[in-house]
Structure formats: structure tokens, C-alpha cells
Chains A and B, each alone.
Chain A
Amino acid sequence: METPLIPPGVKRCPTWQFALWMAAVGAVLLWGVYAMILVWWKGLNQTNMNDAYGFALWIWADLAVIALGGGAFFTGFLTYIIGKDKLKGIINYAVIIGFICYSSALLILAIDIGQPLRGWFIFWHANVHSMLTEVAFCLSCYFGVLTIEFIPLILENPRLAAKPFLHHLSHNMHEIMAVFAATGVFLSFFHQGSLGGVAGVLFGRPFAYREGIFIWPWTFFLFTWSAAACGPCFTILVTWITEKITGKKLVQQDVIGLLAKIAGWMLITYIIAKSIDTLYWALVTAPGMGFTLMDFYTDHPIYNIGILFAEIVLCGFLPALILITRRGRENGFLLILSVLLAVLGCSINRWVMVLQVMAVPVFSFESWFLYSPSWQEVATTILPVAYGVILISLAHRYLPVFPQEKELNPAN
């Protein structure tokens, strides 16, 4: 008898139901693929970007998915380096989410550049002074690490595991996973930071520019910090969504609680550091360039001072304070609300550090530069979401992603 594809002891929906779900998500994916082909074929004139808005929706999406995919490196760090064994209940999923986020980031970058066939120039003609070079190297290397971390899980599919070589390969890869986790932490520290540096080094853009230490602007450290804080929040949020869709408890609450607690402390320390950075920038750096804080905000629905309040207070301090209190974490609604706010806060931070940088006029005789994405930009940004849903669906159906699933769902 042939070994089943679905892991033993767990219940999965009927094939027709799964196929229908995949077809629906696949349709969205195809829409994105169509837009992607249009962009590659006809060029970036398919977007609403312009010479004032060279960085737009895609770069934001890149920065956001990389930050939110930070759950993989930080959870790996906690599990394999710090030794928080309890987190083994969620580490597989964190790795898959990270893999999706990083592969999506690479895909978006490939769409975003004007000459995709020359993408390799960033490695071949590397300018070591550019933050983007460091991002490209570390991001690609870390994607390799994530792939290595993902492979043993794929090999645990019952049909693959039935082959002795693959079974032993998987086992041996698990044994040395701490090495890859450590490598992932090292690489992530640099590329998350360099993504912060991308904006922070722009001394021609007073809204983005930050002072720092040696070659690193403060945004370098803040981006790494926020990814370590909000990445695990995104992992918790996606786990919760998966549980709601599958109708099953997949990860024990104490595992979620521990990750939420650590994320909460990371978030509160981050948001304090971010507040200090913002104050110094608003009171010292920007005035030194001739700008007051309010020069960077206008009466626009998005770029008013409310966006700063939303990022730091509503989506920063508030979720952090909920997550560091036991009562907050143990309340299901507050827990999910706070991780959602943290994810939004991180996304807002990446938005302002990309799009608002472009929007703010640098000359007193200029107006604000405003932009709304074309449908091709929106479709290609949704494309990775559809791809992620498909990969998660396949992984959940065919791989033992959640080691506690059987225990938590005994009726199966």
C-alpha cells in the first residue's frame, strides 16, 4: 500500500474542498502574474510611479514583508540559540512564513527594477558603500538559509520520509539547525538594519535622514529591533488566522503566550528607542536642516500628524503595554488586537520611511508629491499574498507543520 501524502493522525478537508480553495486563491495569483508579465513586457510605465516617486508601493511591500518575516530569524534565535524549547511548537510555521516573506521580497524586487535582466549587477558590480548592496547580499544569503531550514520539514512529508535517504537527511539537517539559525540571525541583523539604512543615509532627504554611529544611521538599529518585535507578532497573527480557517487549535496557548511576551518586551523597548529617535530628529536633526516637525506633515488624509501618532502610540505603545502584561496576553481578543496593531505599526513605519520620504517637498517652492498605485502595482503586491496562502495551504495539508496538532485535536 502506498504511503499517504497527508501526515498520519491529522484530519484534512476533502480534496474537492481543497481544490476549490486553491482555485479561488489561484485566480488571484493569476491576476497578479498577468500584471507582473505586463510590467516585465511593457516596462515600469505600467505603474503610477514617476521621477518624484521613484520608490513607491513595491518598496514599501518589500520592506514590510521582510520586517514581518523577521519572525523566522527571531523565533529561530530564541529556539535554537537561547534555548526556548517551548517555541518548537511554532518554529516550523515561523520558518515557512519567513520563507514566503523573503521569496516574495525577492520577487517584488525583480518586478521593481527597470532592467530585470541586469539584476545580477548588484552582486557583480557591487558598491560596498551602498546599503542596498548589503541588503541584496544578506537577503539572498538569508533566503538560502531559510530554504535550508524549510527543506527538513518538506522531507517530513510521509511519502518522502518513507525513503530512508530523505528521512536521514531530514534528521541530520535538524541536528545542525542551530548553526543555520545562528547564521540566519547574523544575516538578518545586517539586512534588516541595512533596510533601515536605505532611508536613514539619505542626507538629501531631511524626513528620512538620521544621524548614527560610524556608518550606521539609527534607523539601521531601529529596523532590526522592530523586525524582531513585530515579526513574531505577525507569526502569531498568521497562526491565529490559520486556526480560524482550519477550525482547529494548532499551537498551545502557552507557546503563543511566551512568544507574545517576548515580542511585547521587544516592542516596548523598540518603541521607547523609536520615540527618543523621533524626538532627537524633530528637535535637533531636522531644525539643523531648516525644517520644523510640522513641515513634514500636511492636511492630507494620510500625511497628517496623525500618522506619527498612529505609528508610535496607537500601534506602538498600546500593543506593547498589552503584550507585556499577563492579563493582556491571556485575553484572546486583546492578544490578537495587540499583535494586529503591532503589525500595522511596523507597516506604517515602513510606509512613512519609503512613501512619505518621497512625498515631503524638500524645496520651499515645491508642493507635496502625491501618488496612488496603478492596478498593476496593486495586483503584483497582492500576488505574493496569494502565493503565500497557497504555500501555507499546501504546507499545512501535506507537512507536519504543527507538532502539537495531534495532541490539541485528539478527536481526529
Chain B
Amino acid sequence: MKESATHETARRYGMVIDLDKCTGCGACMVSCYAENNVPFKKDESNKLDSINWIRVVKMTNQKPYPDTQICYLPMPCMQCDGVGKHGHSPCVSVCPAVATDYDFTTGIVSQIYTRCFGCRYCMAACPYHARKFNWWDPVWPADMEKYLSPNVSPRMRGVVEKCSFCFHRYQLARDKAYQEERAELEENEYQPACVEACPVKAMTFGDLNNPAHAVYELKNHKHAFRLLERLETNPKVYYISSKEWVRRNGDNYLPDEAPGRLKSKAKARH
């Protein structure tokens, strides 16, 4: 929140996930664990205190067989732009120690682990449960420590962590571009691990402001929607689903409302 919010963001990285393609295989989660040194517990059965930067939620249309339909919903951090796209995302505005920040050059919401003192106000503020607390000291089996990524600092007990859209990959790509005396990155130069790992290419990543990037068009797909748009969190993760019940599950509607007919302020800003 320290930088000026008055100029238009140069880049606004975001993701479009095609739910019609997602099989719920969990490859995105596995790649994220490996890429970002995400710690895990010996017993991972209690998901409420598991750390995952992206999780795959299973939804059903609540209808009995044979009309049952299932949809898998991969949920990374939504990298919210917040009300009016001023970086006033739910978590950034509440963090008392500026341990989470909105980067106006990329639109990515960062988490500064060494600044966080573990008050968990950001977790209370985030409706997507994207933020995870380190309830325990991170411990890896001895051999696994050798495989930790040197590009991502492991987190300590007592701090909050979350998806960064693999920001270290952005930094590496920027370094490479700088060495090659280029100002701009190619679309494929910076892709998060989960997007690369998806075997069915359900996830597309890029600069939402750049017409040359695939996400620019995809976000305007007739079946594109964002989660909890009505709260005006202004997420940068979009979903596409041909199923009306899936789109309806993405937000909350009064009994007489339907997703398509609703004119929300957030929709207008999209």
C-alpha cells in the first residue's frame, strides 16, 4: 500500500481456469508443494490446519444419481485487486505490519514472512481461505531437505503464508530479460508451477492487461466468472464453466436472483 495507486498497473497477472477441463487430479497442488517448499504434516487428514497454496475443492450439484454432477475447483490465492483496483484487497488493507503488500507493477499480493508476526487478521479477512498459518515448525524428512528449492525461503512457525503466483519465477524471468536488455517478458517466460503441471491445460496464466496474452480474451468468455464477485474483492483468478450450477456456486445469490441477470458493481469494473 506504500506505492502510488494513481497510475494504471503496467501488468496485472492473472489466471483463467477452465473447470470443464479440470479432472481434479491434484497435479497443481503437488507441483506447488515442490516448487514453493510448502511444509506438510505427518498426518494430513485434518485439512483445516494443512498448508497448501492451491487446493482443489470438490463441488457437486447436490442432485441424486443419475443426475449427479461433479466439478473440481482449483483455488490458489485470488490475488485480489480490491475495491476499485487500488490494491485495497481484503488482506493487504488489514495487515497491521505491512507484512502483505500489493505490488502495483504486477498486481501480485505478496507475503513477507520475516515481517509477519502471526496475528492472523489477514486470514480472518480472506473469504477464500487462501491464507495458511504455520501452526508447527516446518519439518521435512531428512532426504527431502536436499530437494528444497533455493529460490523460495521456507517459512517459520507462527507466520502466515500463501500463494505468490510463483513470484520467484517472475523475478528470475525479469533477471533474464534484463541480461538480454529486454523490458518486456514473453507470455511463456513467466508461468507458475501449477499452470505448467496441469496435464489437461485447464489453467492459463498471463497479463490480464495485455491483449497479446491468452488470458486477455479468456477472461471475457461468455461463461467466465470469478469467485465471490459480489463482495468486490476483485480477484484476478477467473473460471470458465459451461454449467450454470457451477457458476452459481461461485457466488451467493438470493432465491430470486440468477448469475447471468445480475448487474453487480464488481461486474461493471471487470
Contact = CB atoms under 8 A, between A and B. Distances in A.
Interface of A: 43-45, 49-55, 112-116, 118-119, 121-122, 124-127, 129-133, 136, 198, 201-206, 287-292, 295, 357-358, 362-365, 369
B254 interface: yes
Please report whether the interface of chain A is mostly helix, strand, loop or mixed according to DSSP.
loop
A44 B90 contact: no
Interface string B105-140: 000000000011111110111111101111111000
Interface residues of B, number: 56
Please report whether the interface of chain B is mostly helix, strand, loop or mixed according to DSSP.
loop
B97 A289 contact: no
Residue of A112, A130, A204 most packed against chain B (CB within 10 A): A204
B89 to A, nearest CB: 9
Contact of A115 (B98, B136, B159): B159
Contacts, number: 163
A112 B120 CA distance: 9
Nearest to A47: B135
A113 B118 CA distance: 5
Contact of B158 (A55, A115, A126, A362): A115
B34 to A, nearest CB: 21
Contacts of A206: 231, 252
Contacts of B1: 127, 129
Interface string B3-32: 000000000000000000000000000000
A226 to B, nearest CB: 21
Nearest to A55: B124
Given A113-B118, A114-B134, A122 B96 contact: yes
Contact of B94 (A130, A287, A292): A130
Contacts of A202: 90, 94, 124-125
A125 B97 contact: yes
A30 B222 CA distance: 63
B115 A121 contact: yes
A124 B49 CA distance: 30
A287 B118 CA distance: 33
Contacts of B144: none
Contacts of A292: 254-255
A198 B131 CA distance: 18
27 contacts: A44-B118, A44-B158, A45-B49, A50-B48, A50-B135, A51-B48, A51-B49, A51-B50, A51-B131, A52-B129, A54-B123, A55-B124, A112-B119, A113-B158, A114-B157, A115-B156, A118-B116, A122-B97, A122-B117, A127-B97, A201-B93, A203-B90, A203-B231, A288-B230, A290-B251, A362-B231, A362-B252
